[in-house]
Amino acid sequence: MTISAVDLFCGAGGLTHGLIDANIKVVAGFDIDKSCCYAYEENNKGAEFFHKDVASLTAEDLLKLYPENSIKLLAGCAPCQPFSTYSQGREAKSDKKWPLLYEFSRLIKEVAPELVTMENVPDVTKHEVYHDFVRDLKELGYNIWADRVYCPDYGMPQVRKRHVLLASKIGKIELIQPTHDSESYKTVRDTIGKLPAISAGEQHPDDPLHISAGLSELNLRRIRKSKQGGTWHDWPEGLRAACHTKDSGKTYSGVYARMRWDKPSPTMTTQCFGYGNGRFGHPVQDRAISLREAALLQTFPKKYKFISTKSKVQLSPIGKMIGNAVPVKLGKVIGESLQKHLAIEG
């Protein structure tokens, strides 16, 4: 039997594309961000995008999408802002996105899929909503594997850490074993080293997504003084920002910094196109990484299309799509784990 999947919180299609790469049929994706529709459907043939709030979905909405006589997979990465370290200082329960994992759990109860996968930031495990989610799965009779995944261990070129959960009513399940170690990790050079050089603020004529944010004269002077893997401490005093002199700013050494060629990149975020937003400076060129480079570091294929050819490339909306995505390769690892599980238990 084949696995058919519905992807909740699908975004631009990172998880969906990875599942398809693992020969899982993805029939639909749901997201409240309508701007993701083009990227999702253009790159994932056969998967239909639905602009709907997951909280409004019913079992009937989903069950009619699954082909007959297939094994149902319900997949989802509920928005992680409530659990992220980037949300520190905020009351998580006041965030309207907080209940979405409960909505995911509700749909699992109503749809009763044979397989479930959930991916999120590692800190999700520190919150009651996650433990309620796991308890509900156990009460429904699912076998569960859940652990923190370090993306370089599976050939992804960024030091992203994610919490992955697999659940099955068919039998015992687990993620496939790591495919890489510290001696064979994919690096920034491996991933973006052959792309043509561009300047800050330039867009390559052959690839509209190979576009870099402009830099002020001050930031150009700063990046020219930045070393691979270095910090703003490498700059002359006159280039340092006022916030760097404060005690609260002294620990943020990873902003206004260059990546290293021969290491995995930092975690891609929704602001990864901005030089001042993290260690997002190109290793040798005097600019922040381009949108295409960010997408490649998220393991999207080079030809993945995020907007139509008629649309203007805008850094922030596309950066949000890229940074919010599940790395495609992680989606494939999850899919391969499910396929191996089915082969063993089926």
Name the E strands within 103-243: 115-120, 143-150, 161-168
241, amino acid identity:
A
Q: Active site includes 80?
A: yes
The active-site residue out of 10, 36, 77, 80 is 80
**Cβ–Cβ < 8 Å for 200, 281:** no
Tokens of 8: 């909740």
Tokens of 342: 């089915």
Tokens of 310: 């008629």
**Cβ–Cβ < 8 Å for 104, 78:** yes
How distant is the alpha carbon of residue 318 from its chain centre?
Answer: 13
Instruction: Compute the distance between CA of residue 279 and CA of residue 256 in angstroms, rounded to an integer.
Output: 6
| ∠ CA 251-256-262, rounded to 5° | 95
Q: Which residues are catalytic?
A: 80
